[in-house]
Each structure stands twice: as C-alpha cells, then as structure tokens.
C-alpha cells in the first residue's frame, strides 16, 4: 500500500469517492523491508503498571493478537526479556531507547533488546529531561523516584554491576529507590546527546534505527545524513515542549524533505481511522497510536488495549479502500500523462526548431518559465496533497469548475 498521491484538499479534508470495488481490503505495508499487517503501531508508553496490572506484558500480548507491532519503552515496569516472552514467537516488537549517558549501559540495553528479538530501535530524542508538567507537579506524580518504571534499568546487568561498585557492594534490591534515582539521573540527565553521538548507536545496533521526536525538516535531513533509517514526526503527544508546533502541521514539509529517502512515521493525536488515513495521505508510512489504547488498558487491561486498536483498525480498513482506489485510478497517471510529455515536447522543440534570434530567445525563455511554473505548480499541489485527479477534471471539464477553479486560480496567480 502506498499513498504517494494523497487525496486531501488544502484544508486537509478527505474527499470521499463512490461506487468503488471494496472486495479487497488490504492495509498491509512494508517497513524496513519487512511486511506488516497494517500501518498502525503501538507507541511506546512508559510506566504501564500504574494503568493496569496487565502492564507492558499484557499490552504486548494484545499487540501480538492483532498483528500490530509493540514498541517497548525504556521506562517500563516489566523487563525487556519478560515482554519479549509474553508477546511470543512471530510477534513484531521494537525497542524504544531513552538514551542513557553511560555508553556501557546503552550498549548493554541494545544487546539485550536485540537478543530478545526486538527488530527496530526507536530512539526518543525529545526527553533528555522530563518536561515541566504542572499537572504531574500538582499531583506530586513522579513514579521513577518511587522505584516504578525503571525495570529495564534495574534488571540490566551492567547497571547493576556499576550500582554495586558505586555503593559498597549493595544490590539494587537493597535500596530500590536509590537505584531508581541513579537510573533516572543517567537516563533523564538533562544533557542532550548530539548528532555525532549517533554513531555509538549505529555501531551497536545492526537493525533499522528510527529517531522519534523530529519536528523540523532540517533535523529530518540531518537524521538521514547520519545514516538513520527512519524518523517519527512527533511532539510526544504534546507532553514535552509546551507550545510546540502540532505534529501534523510539520508532516508535509518533512515528507517533502526526506520522504523519498527514509521511512517517515507519525504520531501525536491519532484517535480514529480517519486520522490514520490523513497522516498517510500527508506522506507518513505508518502511525504510532498512544493514549487511545492506554485508556483501553486502564479500563479493561490487555483486552481493552486490544479492542481500542481493533476499532481504529476497522475504520482504517474501510477508508483505505476508497483512498487507495482514487490514487490508483487517477493520481500519478494523470501527472505523468500530462506534465512530462508537455515539458519533454517543449524541450525538444526548443532545441531543434527555435532559438535563432535574440527576440526569439526571450520569447522562448518566457515560455520556458511558464512550463517550469506549471510543473512546479503541479509539484506544489502534490506536496500539499491536493487531489490531482479532481483538479484535472475540474480544469478540463466544466462541471466541477466552480468548486475547484477558485483555489486553482489563486494558486496560479500566486505562482506567477
Ligand atoms: C502516559 C504516556 C507515557 C509515554 N511514555 C513514553 C515513553 O516512555 N517513551 C516514548 O518515547 N514516548 C512516550 N510517550 C509518548 C508516546 O510514545 C507518543 O509519542 C504519544 O503519546 C503520541 O500521541 P498520542 O498519545 O496522542 O497518540 C508517552 C505518552 C504518554 C501519554
């Protein structure tokens, strides 16, 4: 499944189409050369035991039951190995790294995750320090200092050894609160890593690496230059930087910058199947869903998480058929059929027949400019995800002209 020519208006509304064959409902995709049943992934969520005793092991089982990849958070209340075992053979699991300052510990986490069958490394960049969260402060909520949400760390052999060396032979279990605060101090140290340091991860992880928390097209390009395989365009569900731009607002620009070079994933605000489709139409390859299934987990444990995701999947499947058909039938075909022959014809004509006198040259340059601008206009429309097919019809037939010709003309004027 691919959504390279999306079907959204400039107002990011979906344009429904009718009387399409929907007998095949395939929402499968390929990510990092591996097949996935759907474009939905469970976002990494920390400290799940506070929502329900099923916690991360339950959520991972739920994911496995419906063929959705599960991303295990570093801030989990269950270990890397326990979650892998719970999710079972054949399940898809990814590991999310809150990147410690201590390289030995980082490498140990990566090795454990790889050994336990986690396929993709998701490195969250926006949480080198926990944000100023007034609600949490009002409620004195910081589970880590109570020893909750650090199991990935406190079960790590390198961390345990270093803790013991620093504390006169003490075991983590002897003072779990102290161990937890040492762990948090390393993971949420307040010191951000830098682009150069990504090489440590590259050298120690032989699978795909995805950077989570990218919001600027330049950072997306830097990720690609650093040899990363993907990014998650995410503002952490609005939980980290107060006043940060909406994730969806940045998606088109980021896709334009790197969408053809690396895998662009999206999260923050996906609530329904329609949201999934919008993100895909704007160029994301798949989406991460966070709070909806956590609410499900809170209400009904593992089954609640699973059923929430099932609901989102059901709606996505229905939508996808419609959008997919539109793309296949009209989008690219029209672009190819129209833009390339015109510009090729023009280039050929220009070099062979014309270009004799200065006046002709000026005239030719003008026409050149018009052709170029038409092409860039089309690209602009594509980049901004207008339904090209719809445009094509409106420009060349009269029936729909009133609805679409106005923005089209405005765009023409502004381009010229
Ligand atoms: C309670 C909670 C805990 C989270 N914990 C993590 C985490 O441990 N690691 C991480 O990378 N992101 C974490 N996130 C962010 C999610 O992975 C994701 O980016 C965000 O929730 C997506 O937005 P949504 O909740 O609107 O779907 C957390 C989000 C919530 C709501």
Whether 268 shows a pLDDT value over 90: the answer reads yes
> Other C-beta atoms within 10 Å of 383: how many?
16
Can you give the pLDDT at residue 8? 60
Can you give the pLDDT at residue 20? 84
Measured in angstroms, how far is the CA atom of residue 237 from the centroid of ligand 1?
6
Strand pairing report for 29-31 and 34-36: antiparallel
Whether 377 shows a pLDDT value over 80: the answer reads no
Can you give the pLDDT at residue 399? 29
Measured in angstroms, how far is the CA atom of residue 343 from the centroid of ligand 1?
47
Instruction: Quote the Cα angle for 375-381-382, to 5°.
Output: 90
**What atom in ligand 1 is closest to the CA of residue 74?**
8
Can you give the pLDDT at residue 155? 97
Ranges 46-60, 77-91, 176-190, 306-320: which has the least confidence: 306-320
DSSP one-letter string for 312-364: HHHHHHHHHHHHHHHHHHTHHHHHHHHHHHHHHHHHHHHHHT---SHHHHHHH
The listed range with the strongest mean pLDDT (170-174, 270-274, 360-364) is 170-174
Does residue 29 contact residue 286 with C-beta atoms inside 8 Å?
A: yes
**Tell me: the pLDDT tens digits for 212-253?**
999 999 999 999 999 999 999 999 999 999 889 999 999 999
Mean predicted lDDT score pLDDT of the chain: 82
Give the Cα separation of 273 and 366 in Å (integer): 47
**What atom in ligand 1 is closest to the CA of residue 291?**
25
Q: Which of 45, 141, 238 to mutate to test the pocket of ligand 1 (most atoms within 8 A of CB)?
A: 45
**Tell me: the pLDDT tens digits for 326-343?**
333 333 333 333 334 444
Give the Cα separation of 414 and 408 in Å (integer): 10
Measured in angstroms, how far is the CA atom of residue 238 from the centroid of ligand 1?
9
Whether 294 shows a pLDDT value over 90: the answer reads yes
Measured in angstroms, how far is the CA atom of residue 289 from the centroid of ligand 1?
8
Measured in angstroms, how far is the CA atom of residue 4 from the centroid of ligand 1?
27
Domains and CATH numbers, the chain: 29-328 (3.20.20.70), 330-415 (no CATH)
Positions marked active-site: 236
User: Closest Cα to atom 4, ligand 1: which residue?
Assistant: 45
The listed range with the strongest mean pLDDT (4-13, 52-61, 243-252, 386-395) is 52-61
Nearest alpha-carbon partner for 126 in 207, 216, 15, 65: 216
Does residue 154 contact residue 183 with C-beta atoms inside 8 Å?
A: yes
User: Which residue has tokens 């609530």?
Assistant: 271
Q: Which residues approach ligand 1 with their CB closer than 6 A?
A: 43-46, 73, 75, 96, 124, 212, 234, 236-237, 239, 267-270, 288-291
**What atom in ligand 1 is closest to the CA of residue 237?**
23
Ranges 54-68, 272-286, 329-343: which has the least confidence: 329-343
Can you give the pLDDT at residue 324? 42
Whether 15 shows a pLDDT value over 70: the answer reads yes
């Amino acid at each position: 499944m691919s959504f390279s020519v999306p079907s959204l208006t400039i107002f990011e509304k979906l344009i429904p189409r009718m009387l399409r064959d929907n007998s095949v409902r395939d929402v499968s995709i390929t990510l990092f050369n591996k097949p996935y049943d759907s474009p939905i992934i469970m976002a990494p969520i920390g400290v799940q035991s506070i929502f329900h005793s099923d916690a991360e092991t339950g959520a991972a089982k739920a994911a496995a039951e419906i063929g959705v990849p599960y991303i295990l958070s570093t801030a989990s209340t269950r270990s890397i190995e326990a979650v892998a075992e719970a999710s079972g053979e054949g399940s898809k699991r990814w590991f999310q790294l809150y990147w410690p300052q201590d390289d030995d510990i980082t490498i140990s986490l990566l090795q454990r995750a790889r050994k336990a069958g986690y396929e993709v490394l998701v490195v969250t960049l926006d949480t080198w320090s926990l944000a100023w969260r007034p609600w949490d402060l009002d409620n004195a909520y910081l589970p880590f200092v109570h020893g909750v949400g650090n199991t990935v760390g406190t079960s790590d052999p390198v961390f345990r050894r270093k803790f013991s060396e620093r504390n006169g032979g003490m075991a983590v279990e002897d003072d779990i609160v102290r161990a937890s605060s040492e762990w948090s101090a390393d993971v949420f140290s307040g010191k951000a890593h830098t682009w150069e340091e990504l090489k440590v991860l590259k050298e120690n992880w032989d699978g795909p690496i995805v950077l989570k928390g990218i919001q600027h097209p330049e950072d997306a390009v830097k990720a690609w230059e650093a040899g990363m395989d993907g990014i998650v365009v995410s503002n952490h569900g609005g939980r980290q930087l107060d006043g940060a731009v909406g994730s969806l607002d940045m998606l088109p620009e980021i896709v334009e910058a790197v969408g053809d070079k690396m895998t662009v994933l999206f999260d923050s605000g996906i609530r329904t199947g329609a949201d999934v489709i919008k993100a895909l139409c704007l160029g994301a390859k798949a989406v991460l869903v966070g709070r909806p299934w956590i609410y499900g987990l809170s209400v009904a444990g593992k089954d609640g998480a699973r059923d929430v995701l099932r609901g989102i999947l059901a709606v996505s499947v229905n939508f996808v058929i419609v959008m997919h058909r539109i793309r296949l039938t009209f989008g690219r075909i029209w672009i190819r059929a129209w833009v390339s022959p015109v510009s090729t014809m023009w280039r050929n004509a220009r070099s062979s027949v014309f270009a004799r006198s200065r006046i002709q040259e000026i005239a030719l340059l003008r026409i050149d400019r018009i052709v170029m601008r038409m092409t860039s206009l089309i690209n602009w429309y594509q980049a901004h995800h207008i339904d090209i097919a719809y445009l094509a019809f409106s420009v060349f037939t009269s029936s729909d002209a009133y609805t679409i010709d106005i923005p089209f003309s405005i765009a023409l004027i502004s381009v010229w």
